[in-house]
Amino acid sequence: MLTKSFLTQLIPPRIGEVLRRLQADIWTEVEGDIVVRQTESSMDYRRIDELADADFSLAPEGRFFWGPKYAQRWFRLELPEVAGSGGVYLHWRDQAEATAYRDGVPVAGIDLAHPYCPLGKGARALWIESVCIRSGIWLDGNALALAEDGSEYEPPRLLRRNDLAWSLYHDLRVLLDIMEADMADTQPGLKKSLTDPVRHTPSFQRATPLFRRWCMRLDDAIDVFDAEGPEAFQKQLAAIYCDFPADPQSLRAVLTGHAHIDLVWLWPERVGEFKAVHTWATQVRLLGEYPEYKFGYSQPASYEAVERKTPALYNRVRELIGEGRWEATGASYVESDTQLPCGEALLRSLRLGQRRFIKLRGEPARVFWLPDVFGYSGCVPQLLKAVGVTGFFTCKLSWSTINRFPHTSFRWRGFDGSEVTSHIVRLHDYNESVGLRNLREDSLQHQQAAVHPEYLVPTGYGDGGGGPTEEMCERARRLANLAGSPRTGWGGIEEFFQRLDAVKDRLPVAAGELMLELHRGIFTTHGRMKAAFRALERALQTQEAVYAAGGAGPVPEHAWERLIFAQFHDCIPGSSIWEVYAETIPELEKLGADAMSDAVAKLGGTEGADRKPCLFNPLPLPRVWRDESEYYSIPPLSGAPFSSLDRLEVDRPEASSLQLKNRRVRAAFSNDGRINTLIVDDREVSLVPGPVLRGYFDHPATNDAWDLDRPSLVAGVTPERTSKQPVIEQTETSASISFEYTLRSSHIIIKYLLHGHESVLRIVYDIDWREPQMCLKGLFPTGYLGKQVRYGTPYGSVLRSQSPGYEREEAAWEVSASRWLVVMDDAQREGLFVVAEAKYGVTVSEGCVGVSLLRSALVTEADFHPKIRSLQDRPRFSDMHRHEISLAIGRFDCELPATEQPAALADLLFTPCLNYSGNPVSGGFLGVEEAPTLLPAWCEPLGKGWALRMHETDGRRGVASLKIAPGWRAAICDVDKEPDRAALTAEILNVPYEPYKIITICFQRDAGQ
């Protein structure tokens, strides 16, 4: 009756109606009864082969809730005969995450993004492992999809899929998405959806020719659909796809199947292991259904968990790795934080990871995969180079709030000059869903497109979302060669980086650390966790030193594995739920105590009449150690009887009214506890009047455990001195003065302490903290206004500005300091240093140093699901307990010997010598000369001899002389290789060093020794 209209705006609503028709035709219910039996919930997870028939009872027929949160429950399903007829799916209706098993093997993960499980022919029984946990947290609108009463279960259904309707739906959906994206670019002011027919829709006066042609072709195709049915419609759509290929000059979007799994975060470790099985079962299924599809996963910790929990799934993954379908890459054992662990811990994470990748794939990984971490230390490129990694990928830099990172592909140059070819997602994240608008925008945002015309897109839902979905795979197929879209397809991560590496000389350079301008609170949140972590680092440092000096070979690996696991980027930062720390902190504390006990036992050796009281120095630095009232000089990495050590005469330190004094340090205090003067070796440190403590109201705009916002640090509350007089204490070896304060309901004692032989003023904070949502800082106002402050980093240091004015400087209101910092004049020759036992977050501005002592942030998910969480006594806020926090301050002088530089003092002040009864031991290392900033840091026992790890701390170069004891030889070597015997040198080894270079020296005894 009517002719075709020029009202093009009427066509998209027509397309939307057809989509709804097709979607309604995809799934139809299949008749048949499913008998469901279930076990009781348990916090002790069981494998399927540990279940017995007697563990199951009939599940209620209707809807019910179950828990508690994080608990496991098994279901066993008896399926009707129709279920095995082919083309039938199980619709499992439970809010919890689940994994379906058939014949004892995981066959599918079931979650919000993957609600349907294909049953396959002959299926008559299915087992479901379910965990009461939020599922698919990254899916829009489903972040809280777990009822407060527990996981909401409804009886499952059987469905049959209409594959033709499924295919047509995705054909049409993709074309409509391109049209919507095209119109959003040409008519950005359009407020309503193209498919919404209600109210005024303006005519498309401004549209691309492509949009108009699609409207015409799809309008005609829908006429065919209505008249001739779906098969004819399918031919029409196929012709459209054929007639509209992608522009040959368009960029290539390289999709990599991805499922970012937080090993701990909103769940404890056992749930993270379950999530790996859950996700991998789905991905193995999709790899079987879509031959072009590729999936990649990083963390070897997850591979080990899957191997332990379900060997059959692990073995299938190994087969897929061999076929090139599943890519195991990432380099590190877990996706680790890179700022809080010490340099050796970062190195061990990479080395352990690479050993496990060799087991998985026959060779080391070539890409460091770190999508979600809260900043990137400048030592990382050097460590990556040492373990054979050439590529680096992340997403998180795009989260910075002030300064936008300028590149997508670049060369990351570390502190020492090492480079790694790098690529980031500049706009979106690691949970992409093959969304057309995001793909197009990423194409426009690819800053190095002229050099490298492709970009990487991690695709799939993480953290229990199960990774990519069937829908994503269908969309990727249709976007492989379609006008209006980047050329899109699945690809390999390492292959992508090989192509990028071929053009690396044309890429820009980003030098130094890559600072994330967000999540600044994680340097301080959960202080006890950070203290336990640092204590285990020190304990392993001591244990390995004992093994190295005694020739005992490598230490057992378990403690290292658990320390490295705790480096995971939501564990050590303090951003996980309380249940994670209730498990992790006691474990780390016990491992540290066990390592120290083992070290002492190893020194004791076997019983014998010639055993003598001895003292062992676990550091590769000479030192003076106080034992009771006596002082001893002890060489590096050695143990000797007290009777053979040089004994030193040290004057007794003095404490008087508001003054402390030893042979090198004089400190005077005001009545309110401020340090009025600090004089070291007759040189006064430039201090200015100001408070010693200040509490800041800590209410970040979002992400309480993660963020410390700048407005919070403007105004605050100064603790009040109590009426009590300062407490003065004096012994033969120490003198101290203590001041008492109150801050609202909290009680604080600051003790200033001098030991007779030290050149530093120690400070011990005894804090009974009761203030929620507050950050407490220890303040050190100085007159040092040099533009740059030097901060300790893992295996190095970094200069950052303290001068206000520019956005880059303003954005650095809270930064990390790996246990030490120096504020100084522009000449960088003298200043004040601060050394911390286990504190990392600092603010430095215009000469004032503010060390974050604690922050009582709202614990992640503290208020979620209170009725179904079994750990009922968990605190709502972190750090609400008693703390003892140790710092030290002193005068920085760039000409002082290495043992008085802050990088060395960070170890010397807080790593004790060991008393033991036994015999002398030595590693053959007598010390370093001519290199005040080349720090001997770690002694690693090897199969033959041991390795000394040294690193330059202040940006200097030169040639160091290593003194070697008689009967020993040494040589420079790689971090994971022992040198040839012929390369070893006796007596003196000359070692060239450069700014921030990490150097490994291997020591071996002479033959016959």
Query: Do the bridges between strand 761-768 and strand 882-893 make them parallel or antiparallel, or are there none, so unpaired?
Result: antiparallel
| Average confidence score pLDDT of the chain | 95
Share of the chain above pLDDT 70, in %: 99
Sheet holding 665-669, edge to edge: 654-656, 659-661, 665-669, 675-680, 683-684
Asked whether residue 126 carries a pLDDT value surpassing 70, the answer given is yes
Which helix (H) or strand (E) is 441 found in, with range? helix 436-445
Region 163-186 average pLDDT: 94
Domain final residue, candidates 161, 180, 212:
161
Region 195-207 average pLDDT: 83
Do residue 358 and residue 312 come from a single domain? yes
Q: Which two tokens stand for residue 601?
A: 């036992």
Within a domain: 525: no
**CA end-to-end span of the chain:** 106
Share of the chain above pLDDT 90, in %: 89
Verify cis geometry, omega within 30 degrees of 0, for the bond prior to 613: no
Q: Where are the beta strands (DSSP E) in 505-596?
A: 509-511
Report the SS3 class of residue 593.
Answer: helix
Do residue 74 and residue 217 come from a single domain? no
Q: What span, in angstroms and rounded, lies between the C-alpha atoms of 415 and 792?
A: 12
pLDDT of residue 1007: 76
| 278 Cα distance to chain centroid | 22
Domain final residue, candidates 161, 192, 227:
161
pLDDT of residue 197: 85
**Stronger pLDDT, 194 or 70, i.e. the higher one:** 70
Closest to 740 measured CA to CA, from 659, 668, 670, 673: 673
Do residue 67 and residue 194 come from a single domain? no
Region 198-212 average pLDDT: 85
Do residue 181 and residue 298 come from a single domain? no
Q: Which two tokens stand for residue 781?
A: 């106002």
Do residue 468 and residue 385 come from a single domain? yes
pLDDT grade for 668, boundaries at 50, 70 and 90: very high
pLDDT of residue 891: 98
Within a domain: 94: yes
Within a domain: 51: yes
Do residue 266 and residue 351 come from a single domain? yes
Within a domain: 854: no
Identify whether the C-beta of residue 114 lies closer than 8 Å to the C-beta of residue 466: yes
Do residue 284 and residue 415 come from a single domain? yes
pLDDT of residue 403: 94
Region 208-231 average pLDDT: 94
Asked whether residue 257 carries a pLDDT value surpassing 60, the answer given is yes
Do residue 217 and residue 332 come from a single domain? no
Asked whether residue 142 carries a pLDDT value surpassing 60, the answer given is no
Asked whether residue 346 carries a pLDDT value surpassing 90, the answer given is yes
Asked whether residue 547 carries a pLDDT value surpassing 80, the answer given is yes
Within a domain: 631: no
pLDDT of residue 104: 96
Q: Where are the beta strands (DSSP E) in 536-580?
A: none
Report the greatest alpha carbon distance in the chain: 115
pLDDT of residue 541: 98
The phi and psi torsions of 579 (rounded to 5 degrees) equal -60, -30
pLDDT of residue 6: 78
Domain final residue, candidates 485, 501, 518:
518
Asked whether residue 2 carries a pLDDT value surpassing 70, the answer given is yes
Closest to 669 measured CA to CA, from 658, 681, 655: 658
Region 337-348 average pLDDT: 98
pLDDT of residue 607: 57
pLDDT of residue 606: 56
pLDDT of residue 86: 79
pLDDT of residue 3: 78
Asked whether residue 614 carries a pLDDT value surpassing 70, the answer given is yes
pLDDT, tens digit, 9 for 90 and up, residues 716-773: 999 999 989 999 999 999 999 999 999 999 999 999 999 999 999 999 999 999 999 9
Q: What span, in angstroms and rounded, lies between the C-alpha atoms of 552 and 548?
A: 6
pLDDT grade for 1009, boundaries at 50, 70 and 90: low
Closest to 864 measured CA to CA, from 73, 72, 133: 133
Within a domain: 396: yes
Q: What's this model's pTM, rounded to 2 decimal places?
A: 0.97
CB count, 10 Å around CB of 232? 12
Asked whether residue 874 carries a pLDDT value surpassing 60, the answer given is yes
Q: What angle do CA 36, 37, 41 make, to 5 degrees?
A: 125
Do residue 187 and residue 153 come from a single domain? no
Do residue 514 and residue 490 come from a single domain? yes
Within a domain: 464: yes
User: Which CATH number characterizes residue 99's domain?
Assistant: 2.60.120
pLDDT, tens digit, 9 for 90 and up, residues 71-115: 999 999 999 998 877 789 999 999 999 999 999 999 999 999 999
Q: Which two tokens stand for residue 627?
A: 């034992």
Asked whether residue 551 carries a pLDDT value surpassing 80, the answer given is yes
pLDDT, tens digit, 9 for 90 and up, residues 793-842: 999 999 999 988 889 899 999 999 999 999 999 999 999 999 999 999 99
Asked whether residue 1008 carries a pLDDT value surpassing 60, the answer given is yes
User: Which CATH number characterizes residue 335's domain?
Assistant: 3.20.110.10
Domain containing 239 equals: 8-24+164-243
| 358 Cα distance to chain centroid | 22
Q: How many distinct structural domains can be found in the chain?
A: 3
Q: What span, in angstroms and rounded, lies between the C-alpha atoms of 111 and 93?
A: 9
Do residue 454 and residue 482 come from a single domain? yes
Within a domain: 916: no
Q: Provide the angle, in degrees to the nearest 10, between the axes of the packed helices 230-243 and 209-228.
A: 160
Closest to 465 measured CA to CA, from 142, 79, 122: 142
The phi and psi torsions of 571 (rounded to 5 degrees) equal -100, -75
pLDDT grade for 608, boundaries at 50, 70 and 90: low
Do residue 389 and residue 509 come from a single domain? yes
